[in-house]
Structure 1
Amino acid sequence: MTFDLHRTFLAPVAPAPSTRPALAILDETPADFPAREALLDAAFGPGRFLKTCERLREGRKPASGLALVAKDDEGELIATIRLWPIFAGGRRPALLLGPLAVAEHARSLGLGAQMIRASLARARALGHRAVLLVGDEPYYRRFGFAQRFTEKLILPGPVERARFLGLELAAGALEGAKGRVSAAPPIPSVTLPRAA
């Protein structure tokens, strides 16, 4: 129940009916892979594999607990976001955000912002200290991303400098960061012994 504070007394006001579909932000599972790939293909096309940030993701897994999807009330995957372990110059641990994609029919729902906020909150709770990305500064500025955090960092390929942004989840996490951004080592596969 909400209250109308514009009146001289407090009167209950019925909540406005929601026109947004119900959705849930969940951990990505292996079963989500086909729908996730189809969504990324629709959003970015085949050129997505040529992007500089892809060099930091190839052959690696997203950071533990930081691969999220959103599904509507019918179970359709309508958004995806992943954060990847990287080093922000030298051996300074950080995360790389992306790709973020939202199904075309759901782009006016503010779902992209919800996905970003959920992933950053989870990254902070897991003890991560900094996030880098390549994206539109006017969009990502509202989440605290700024070019000043990446001025002395270099990505492993071409990128528009104005789109290379950083965010400190912990104060000072990117202070003095300089040099090449590199991928964290791949997580080795563990082979379990077979039962005799």
Structure 2
Amino acid sequence: MTILRLRPEDPADEAPVARVLAAAFARPDVATPPEVELVEELRHSDAWIPELAIVAEYGGEVVGYALLTRVRVCSDGDGGSAPALALGPVAVAPHRQRIGLGTAAVQAALDAAAELGERLVVVLGDPAFYRRFGFSRADRMGLTSPWSGLGEPWQALVLPPSTSDDGPPPRGEVVFPPPWSKV
């Protein structure tokens, strides 16, 4: 029986995670997909939250990955900002795709974020995939970003509040840390 194990990334996982990302995002026109470099740079930034970098081990092999990192939502009116999370990259090694490992890794990351009291997650991705977690169009929630013009793929999810008086989720421009500008 093959066992799936979902857990936070540890330093020994850096090379296996890079291999999963490289295989999942491989393109003939680039030697190293930008997602590999994105994760490496995020690891060394203020956006990194170690508990929210989730690896999926299947049969003892790292074959999946889901990452949540810190972003800020800057409100239009008062100049303030609120913390939020960006989901991505999410990857599964090609030889292990289509068996639910990506879904399991994303759900584990979202559950860990909710346990930490996070409120809002944004993602740019396939609406058919992310809808299963409760994501919906971010623009309809008052959230903008450099990717807002893409319509449905720009999505957001409000996590369950940690207390009954958390108030509404933030609205405004989602500001990503510098490593994201390369993707």
Q: TM-score range by the shorter chain?
A: 0.7 to 0.9
Aligned residues, how many? Answer: 162
The 8 Å contact of residues 92 and 102 in structure 2, kept in 1 or not, is answered as: yes
Distance in 2 (alpha carbons) for counterparts of 1:146 and 1:158: 13
Distance in 2 (alpha carbons) for counterparts of 1:34 and 1:116: 20
Instruction: Give the structure-1-normalised TM-score.
Output: 0.71
Q: Identify the residue that residue 182 of structure 1 maps to in structure 2.
A: 175
Q: Identify the residue that residue 84 of structure 1 maps to in structure 2.
A: 69
Q: 3-state DSSP class of the match of 1:85?
A: strand
RMSD: 3.1
Q: Identify the residue that residue 24 of structure 1 maps to in structure 2.
A: 5
Give percent identity, aligned residues only. 32
- The 1:159–1:102 alpha-carbon spacing in structure 2 relative to 1, beyond 3 Å, is farther
Query: Is 2:114 the partner of 1:124?
Result: yes
The 8 Å contact of residues 138 and 144 in structure 2, kept in 1 or not, is answered as: no
Q: Identify the residue that residue 161 of structure 1 maps to in structure 2.
A: 151
1:169-189: CA deviations, max 9, x gaps? 0366435x02x2113699xxx
Paired AA for residue 10 in structure 2: T
Query: Is 2:147 the partner of 1:147?
Result: no
- The 1:185–1:125 alpha-carbon spacing in structure 2 relative to 1, beyond 3 Å, is farther
1:148-168: CA deviations, max 9, x gaps? 565533324686222000000
The equivalent position to 2:91 in structure 1, one of 73, 76, 101, is 101
Paired AA for residue 79 in structure 1: G
Q: 5+ unaligned residues in a row in structure 2: which ranges?
A: 27-31, 76-80, 162-166
Rg larger in structure: 1
Q: 5+ unaligned residues in a row in structure 1: which ranges?
A: 1-17, 187-196
Distance in 1 (alpha carbons) for counterparts of 2:7 and 2:43: 23
Instruction: Give the structure-2-normalised TM-score.
Output: 0.75
